[in-house]
Amino acid sequence: MATHHFSRSAYERLQVELHDLSTRGRIEVANKIETARLMGDLSENGDYHAAKDEQGHMEGRIRHLEHLLDPLNHVIIEGGDEGTIGPGTIVTLVYEGDDDDAAERYLIGHMEEKTAEIDVMSPHSPLGSALLGHGPGDFVEYQAPHGMLKVKVLEVESA
């Protein structure tokens, strides 16, 4: 079974989402289903079918969150070692042949860490796993679908 690594903020955000979906979300979708039932024939009732679909998606998300947040399935990380790439660190890198102004920044972590501010790279991806343990100034090669690629690590910081 895979262990999921979360920052404290992502863990807390997921807990809030789970609580919201399990309470307010379930009540809202139940109200939508009841309102649609009152409209009559369910076989041709688009509102009813849309509400049931919404309920199914929401219940799927609830089950997924319950799995992720199960104490046996996750670890909360407080950030990596300063200057060394690991889960919970932000890495700035540039591909070989590109100028430093084309640098890209990634948080090394679980996909649930994704926010609008920074993209997330899984430590299990080809590039993510190749970067682990490296630091600023290191060149890292990894196997991409179309051949070997090389990146230079410009900066590593704690998330």
Residue 42 gets which letter from DSSP?
G
71's CB contacts (< 8 A; 6+ apart) are: none
The pLDDT of residue 109: 87
The pLDDT of residue 98: 92
119 and 132 fall within a common domain: yes
CATH number at residue 32: 1.10.287.180
The pLDDT of residue 52: 93
User: Rounded to whole angstroms, how far apart are CA atoms 131 and 129?
Assistant: 5
Q: Last residue of some domain: 28, 49, 76?
A: 76
The pLDDT of residue 131: 95
Q: How far is CA 112 from the centre of its chain?
A: 2
The pLDDT of residue 159: 72
Domain that residue 57 falls in: 4-76
Q: Last residue of some domain: 76, 93, 122?
A: 76
The pLDDT of residue 117: 83
The pLDDT of residue 81: 62
The pLDDT of residue 40: 78
Residues of the chain below pLDDT 70: 1-2, 79-81
Q: How many domains does the chain have?
A: 2
Q: 3-state SS of 88-138?
A: CEEEEEEECCCCHHHCEEEEECCHHHCCCCCEEECCCCHHHHHHCCCCCCC
